Amino acid sequence: MPHLTDFRFSAQSLQDYVECQRRFLLRYIQKLDWPAEQSSPYLVFEQYRHKGELFHRCVDQYFHNIDPALIEQQIHDNDLHTWWQHFMEFIREQPFLHTVSEILFQSSLGDHLLIAKFDVLAITADHKVIIFDWKTTAGDHKPARRILAEKMQTLIYPYILCQAGLSVNEKQLASPANVTLEYWFPQYPHEPELFKYSSVQMQQDETQLRGLMEEIESKTIAAFPKTEDEKRCRFCVYRSYCGRGDVAGNIFTDDQETTPDLDLEDLDLDFENIEEIAY
């Protein structure tokens, strides 16, 4: 039975768990580093991933008050330049009072820790709180709302913000009814996906999260099965280890439900000083 008291759950680790319990075991408990292409065409996928990282960096610089003209001078890629222009057109229209970028939240749920890093947290003049997540995609279509709605990120981000609380002048801003999660797509700037939060939703999310964490903690190592949905294996680096094929899935032809999310940060693996999970 894993001892998870010091483990920081994140949207990525719980997404891995709901997609494939074996992947969670290999990645977060056994910490198995298995070399494999995550997706094909490999170079195209990695280029998109790199462009996505650069886009996030440019936007972060913008929110640290670096002159947009200077940021633009660093951009030498046509796609990235287009995304940047879309972002500038978008952000000029936004009536934010306060913004903070790349902000890390941690909250506890029972004995468990939950973390999330927001691309941008914005507060409007009427005290609405918007969590922005910039989503760049490697395929040739925007993720469907139905797929985004089912992501652990959509559940965890607003939950953790409301749980952690956010107040200004002793006024509680992050009450669920004030919070919206907005996925904004630089490749599809006029098609954002907004998810408004509520106290009913927060209660449901807390029950689901608590259940998942307790379920994980109650398992033996032998009780993390491979997914029955073998489509999931096409974009998983462990597919040869699991005997689920040698060839990576194609980002242009496979279905959206199984393609990897370029933008989620793997906080459990990257977070400094993270404690080992002890058995």
Residue closer to ligand SF4 by CB (options 147, 242) is 242
Q: Structure tokens of 126?
A: 């009427």
Nearest to 161 by CA among 131, 128, 119, 123: 131
- Coil, helix or strand at residue 182: strand
Among the listed ranges 137-145, 154-162, 202-210, 236-244, the one in contact with ligand SF4 (CB under 6 A) is 236-244
For ligand SF4, the closer of residues 201 and 258 by Cβ is 258
Identified binder of ligand SF4 from the candidate list 242, 269, 274, 277, rule CB under 6 A: 242
DSSP-H helix ranges across 93-245: 145-150, 152-164, 199-217
Helices (H), the chain: 11-19, 21-24, 42-63, 68-73, 78-92, 145-150, 152-164, 199-217, 267-270
Among 20, 54, 91, 129, binds ligand SF4 (CB under 6 A): 20
| Choice from 85, 107, 208, 227 touching ligand SF4 (CB under 6 A) | 227
Kindly state whether residue 224 participates in binding ligand SF4, applying the rule CB under 6 A: no
Residue written as tokens 């490697």? 138
* Backbone dihedral angles phi then psi of residue 207, each to the nearest 5 degrees: -60, -45
Give 106 or 227: the residue with its C-beta nearer to ligand SF4.
227
By beta-carbon proximity to ligand SF4, the closer residue of 23 and 142 is 23
Residue 29 sits in the site that holds ligand SF4 (CB under 6 A): no
What's the rounded Cα separation, in Å, for the pair 109 and 14?
14
Taking CB under 6 A as the criterion, the residue among 83, 157, 184, 238 binding ligand SF4 is: 238
Q: Which residues bind ligand SF4 (CB under 6 A)?
A: 20, 22-23, 26, 226-227, 232-233, 236, 238-239, 242, 244
